[in-house]
Chains A and B, each alone.
Chain A
Amino acid sequence: MNLALLNNSIRFILLLLVQIIIFSQLHLGPLGPYYIDIIVFPLAYLLLPFRTPREFQFLLAFGSGLFVDLAMQSPGLHAGASVFTMAIRPFVLRILEPRGGYDKLHSPTVQRFKWPWFASYTSLLSLIHILFYFSMEVFTPLFIGVILIKTLLSWFLSNIFIFLIMIILNPLD
């Protein structure tokens, strides 16, 4: 129990640091305005155990987003996206619910649910986070094309890195 808490805390902080130290410094893309942001830190709040109280889920999502925002000088963008994604999480969990239901003590990890489930879970929710982020970044529906292109490119690359991180960490809970 306490070990899981410790593991979760370390993983949470580690993912945020990796995001701001490595991935946020890369502005990839030869595409001019269609640059790519690699956004992996949603994994930090997406891996929170099911038993985490809902209030803490929201607050941790908000806090992690705000932390990355402050490092990237985009106040509010990631924070809003994280909180929104956290609100969508129960829907996605319901869609992906396995036959036996969820064990309240578990976390949504590869070890617990295998790759296909985990891949759908993170890719769906990271898509929501990234879509929300770029919508807020562009901030006008007039440039819906820009939003979608940026979202798809960043989503694709981000997920590759999310899976790599998951292979490296491979946590149980």
Chain B
Amino acid sequence: MLPRPKVFSELGNLVLFLILEGISFYLIINFNDSQSKIYHNTINIISGNIANQVSGIRNYFSLRNQNIYLLNENAKLKARLLNLAEKEGGKAKELDSILQYNNLFSLVGTKVINNSISLRNNYLSLNKGSKSGIKINQGVIGENGLVGITKAVNDNYTTVLSLFNSQTKISARIRDKGYFGSLVWKNDGDVRYMILEDIPKHVPIRLGDQVETSGYSTLFPGGILLGKIVNKRIPPGSSTYALKVKLYQDMTRLKYAYVVINFETPTLDSLYLQTNTQ
């Protein structure tokens, strides 16, 4: 006779069942395209909501610090305004370039509601989404440098691929020298430094040289300061430098970020498309 049918006659069977279903679910969301997109979007919505609540509560306890932060930010902007007014009388050419810059890009100020820095591939969440004009594949900058690139957007939240992600590659150049390369993160867990690659070894590099965005991509305006070189090294057998760059942006304390909206992206994209199809 069959004993009274039970789903899990022993605890071990329950564990086995859960493990097998876990493996299946892992396979589904990692190796199936549409399922993985849906999964990440859903997690984005859920974690966005939760993080927003938590962040709302936490805000009460850090109002003082935030005020200081906003004060600093305001001071900076005011200083910029003053500089601009100064230039208005002086060099007309530079003013032109600033005006043009303003027309090309606009910034959406957002609050960071979730930020990971300890994983191999790190992500952030922002509290604004497509309602504010944010789309995927737009650059995100912080107070002192870059933050990442938008990856998934829904109405009210955005997931950002952090700089500290194995997929990230930023086109950067050395200020005042013009040599450009790619800034990448070796995922060694240290979020203070990134590596600037592809600079030929004949280039004279001095420690302390500043690194800025090159402006070759449509994601970021050129000339945003990223960090300074603290160590130079040529890997054996290589013809290019591996330069260690100390970032100005402290990602561990990031609270606000600005999404860069480039008005020229659609035009440029269609141009690239034409070039590709030829």
Q: Which of A56-115 contact B (CB under 8 A)?
A: 58-59, 62, 65, 69, 74-77, 79-80, 83-84, 87-88, 90-91, 93-94, 97, 101-104
User: B28: CB under 8 A from chain A?
Assistant: yes
Main SS at interface, chain A = helix
User: B9: CB under 8 A from chain A?
Assistant: yes
B interface residues, tally (CB under 8 Å): 29
What's the minimum C-beta distance from A55 to chain B, rounded to whole angstroms?
6
Q: How far is the CA of A58 from the CA of B23 in the complex (A)?
A: 13
**Size bin of chain A's contact surface:** 20 to 34
A5-37: CB near B (< 8 Å → 1, else 0) gives 000000000000000000000000000000000
What's the minimum C-beta distance from B136 to chain A, rounded to whole angstroms?
19
User: B79: CB under 8 A from chain A?
Assistant: no
Kindly list chain B residues whose C-beta atoms are within 8 Å of the C-beta of A140.
Answer: 38, 42
Kindly list chain A residues whose C-beta atoms are within 8 Å of the C-beta of B6.
Answer: 90
User: A121: CB under 8 A from chain B?
Assistant: no
Q: How far is the CA of A93 from the CA of B26 in the complex (A)?
A: 30
User: B13: CB under 8 A from chain A?
Assistant: yes
Q: How far is the CA of A93 from the CA of B42 in the complex (A)?
A: 36
Q: How far is the CA of A50 from the CA of B4 in the complex (A)?
A: 12
A79 and B24 within 8 A (CB): yes
Kindly list chain B residues whose C-beta atoms are within 8 Å of the C-beta of A77.
Answer: 24, 28, 32
Q: Which of A113-161 contact B (CB under 8 A)?
A: 136-137, 139-140
User: B39: CB under 8 A from chain A?
Assistant: yes
Question: Would A90 and B7 be within 8 Å (CB), given that A83-B20, A84-B21, A139-B35 are in contact?
Answer: yes
B156-194: CB near A (< 8 Å → 1, else 0) gives 000000000000000000000000000000000000000
Question: Would A79 and B7 be within 8 Å (CB), given that A104-B1, A139-B39 are in contact?
Answer: no
What's the minimum C-beta distance from A46 to chain B, rounded to whole angstroms?
15
User: B60: CB under 8 A from chain A?
Assistant: no
B27 and A104 within 8 A (CB): no
Q: How far is the CA of A84 from the CA of B23 in the complex (A)?
A: 12
User: B16: CB under 8 A from chain A?
Assistant: yes
Closest to A88 in B: B7
Closest to A142 in B: B38
Q: How far is the CA of A80 from the CA of B28 in the complex (A)?
A: 9
A76 and B28 within 8 A (CB): yes
Which among A59, A75, A88 has the highest number of chain B CB atoms within 10 Å? A75
Question: Would A80 and B12 be within 8 Å (CB), given that A90-B5, A91-B7 are in contact?
Answer: no
B7-47: CB near A (< 8 Å → 1, else 0) gives 11110110011001101111111111011001100100000
What's the minimum C-beta distance from A70 to chain B, rounded to whole angstroms?
10
Enumerate chain A interface residues (CB-CB to B < 8 A): 50, 54-55, 58-59, 62, 65, 69, 74-77, 79-80, 83-84, 87-88, 90-91, 93-94, 97, 101-104, 136-137, 139-140
| 6 A-B pairs in the complex with CB atoms less than 8 angstroms apart | A54-B10, A62-B23, A79-B23, A83-B17, A87-B8, A103-B1
The 7 A-B residue pairs with the shortest CB-CB distance, nearest first, are A76-B27, A80-B24, A76-B28, A90-B5, A102-B2, A75-B27, A75-B31
Enumerate chain B interface residues (CB-CB to A < 8 A): 1-2, 5-10, 12-13, 16-17, 20-21, 23-32, 34-35, 38-39, 42
